[in-house]
Amino acid sequence: MIDYTCFKAYDIRGRLGQELNPEIAMRIGRAFAQVLGAKRVVLGRDCRSSSFELSQAVADGLMQAGVQVLDLGLAGTEEMYFATTHLQADGGIEVTASHNPMDYNGMKMVLRGSAPIDHSNGLAAIKSLAESGAFAPEVAGGSRSDVSGTRAAFVERVLSFVDVAALRPIKIVVNAGNGAAGPTFDAIATALADKGAPLEFIRMHHDPDGSFPNGIPNPLLSENQPVTAARVLAEGADMGIAWDGDFDRCFFFDEAGQFVPGEYVVGLLAEVFVAKEPGASIIHDPRVIWNTQDIVARAGGTAIASRTGHAFLKKALRETGAVYGGEMSAHHYFRDFMSCDSGMIPWLLVAELIGRTGTGLGTLLQERRVAFPSSGEINFKVADVSAAVAAIEAAYASQAEGRDETDGLSMDFGTWRFNLRASNTEPLLRLNVESRGRPDLVSDAVHRISALLGDAAASDH
């Protein structure tokens, strides 16, 4: 029996060929149906060159199990989330590798009601069955139908998060990165125009192209940010937006073309939601927390930390009833969007906030960036993750005023803190450092911790 290494903590991702191919994809589809007892499953795909063939294989596996495949075609992951609930399907699968290199692909899956799946509630069983191939006999009646028309209902749900009448004339640069975002964005832009929204959009790298002629759509990489920043400045735009390949993450640039780190967007959206719903709970990941905690406390809400990763934040939202959850990696989750993440809702909320306040995004965030400077996420390749974390813990244990292991190792020193954790999706150790108004403490800590880790292949944020 082959070990399917493409199964990760809460999704599937692997190198094309050995780790993921049409045969494996077919087996995963068939196992998904059998383990869940699914009769109707939503299927979507991103625009990667390999995604069409893999989605065909997943559909074949599902249909062998007698499933009605509800095919979205080219669509974002959040459209799959929406359609799974909207169509009352038994589950959903999106074939996507998001921002991973060209030779990768994968799948994101949800249960009925767009509930998250992980190894505790189905993923381990799907992996085991796909590996063994011990499937039940084929079931007649499998079928495939086009449900791409659900996009109109998706657009209406997304627009329900904003008061279109409150939008003011602003210019926005949008960079789809030649991923799946373009057609869905166009549907949203058309609906906004029909409702009289006075927004002007400057599109770049807009058409889906699986060869990614302008590079893999991963706006979190510093080398990918200047092109959007430059366009914001050239157009005199009020802000810029960039998405990853399946557009479940949304990244911002302010009116000066400056990239906005994700943790400050989390704080901004937390403030918006607590203002709309006094006393609301807000979920955040444990990597960079002080800005969000301070904003939520000032607004009278409750900030709750969750382990990093979409399956974990979604569970936390469902368990607590929190109105919003955010990760510094630019995943934003909304209770009223099936407790799932969306890359389209955040920019609409920020556009509304700019319209309501008459204040630029950079100005809105300036005070927060000064009050709580952070390092951004720094990645290290180390030979032994556990040993590396133990070495850092030993070096700082005597100085720490507090520690937390919600996700990885967090240590609090009063004026600064760090979080060090292993990636759930890549063979990396990730470091984040923040302080209370002391950028010098951030840079000093990064330097010292990097030295302790042996300066092991540190990469950009």
DSSP per-residue codes, 362-398 = HHHHHHHHHHS-B---EEE--S-HHHHHHHHHHHHTT
Tell me which residues are annotated as active site: 98
- pTM, full prediction: 0.94
Token pair in block for residue 34: 């059998």
In which band, very low, low, confident or very high, does the pLDDT at 435 lie, cut at 50, 70 and 90?
very high
Determine the Cα–Cα distance for residues 48 and 43; give it in Å rounded to an integer.
15
Q: What is the pLDDT of residue 456?
A: 43
In order of their start, the domains of the chain are 12-150 (3.40.120.10), 168-259 (3.40.120.10), 261-341 (3.40.120.10), 378-452 (3.30.310.50)
Q: Of the candidates 318, 333, 325, 286, which has an alpha carbon nearest to the alpha carbon of residue 302?
A: 325
Q: 118 with 110: CB under 8 angstroms? A: no
In which band, very low, low, confident or very high, does the pLDDT at 395 lie, cut at 50, 70 and 90?
very high
pLDDT per residue over 51-88, tens digit each?
A: 999 999 999 999 999 999 999 999 999 999 999 999 99
Token pair in block for residue 9: 């903590």
Q: 94 with 44: CB under 8 angstroms? A: yes
Q: What is the pLDDT of residue 455?
A: 46
Token pair in block for residue 12: 């599937």
3-state helix, strand, coil in the chain (%, to 5): 40, 20, 40
Residue type, 401: E
Q: What is the pLDDT of residue 423?
A: 82
In which band, very low, low, confident or very high, does the pLDDT at 383 lie, cut at 50, 70 and 90?
confident
- Which residues are bridge partners to 13 per DSSP? 106
3-class secondary structure, 435 = strand
Assess whether pLDDT exceeds 90 at residue 36.
yes
Assess whether pLDDT exceeds 90 at residue 49.
yes
Assess whether pLDDT exceeds 50 at residue 332.
yes
Helices (H), 114-254: 123-132, 151-159, 181-194, 226-235
Q: What is the pLDDT of residue 288?
A: 97
Q: Of the candidates 202, 247, 219, which has an alpha carbon nearest to the alpha carbon of residue 77?
A: 247
Distance of alpha carbon 75 from its chain centroid, rounded? 15
* pLDDT, greater one: 349 or 10: 349
3-class secondary structure, 252 = strand
Q: What is the pLDDT of residue 354?
A: 96
In which band, very low, low, confident or very high, does the pLDDT at 309 lie, cut at 50, 70 and 90?
confident
Q: What is the mean pLDDT of residues 299-323?
A: 95
Q: What is the mean pLDDT of residues 36-62?
A: 98
Q: How far is CA 364 from CA 26, 260, 262, 357, in A?
A: 48, 11, 14, 9
Q: 72 with 148: CB under 8 angstroms? A: yes
Assess whether pLDDT exceeds 80 at residue 427.
no
Determine the Cα–Cα distance for residues 157 and 159; give it in Å rounded to an integer.
5
Q: If you write DSSP's letter for every residue of 205-235 in order, what string do you get?
A: S-S--TT-TT----TTSGGGSHHHHHHHHHH
Assess whether pLDDT exceeds 50 at residue 460.
no
In which band, very low, low, confident or very high, does the pLDDT at 458 lie, cut at 50, 70 and 90?
very low
Assess whether pLDDT exceeds 70 at residue 252.
yes
Determine the Cα–Cα distance for residues 45 and 96; give it in Å rounded to an integer.
6
Assess whether pLDDT exceeds 70 at residue 362.
yes
Assess whether pLDDT exceeds 60 at residue 461.
no
Q: What percent of the chain has pLDDT over 90?
A: 93
Assess whether pLDDT exceeds 60 at residue 459.
no
Mean pLDDT of the chain: 95
The H-or-E segment that residue 267 falls in is helix 262-276
Q: What is the mean pLDDT of residues 151-167?
A: 97
Assess whether pLDDT exceeds 80 at residue 1.
no
* pLDDT, greater one: 367 or 459: 367
Determine the Cα–Cα distance for residues 372 and 268; give it in Å rounded to an integer.
13
* Eight-state DSSP code of residue 3: -
End-to-end CA distance of the chain: 38
Q: How far is CA 301 from CA 65, 78, 275, 292, in A?
A: 47, 27, 9, 11
The H-or-E segment that residue 111 falls in is strand 104-111
Q: What is the pLDDT of residue 457?
A: 41
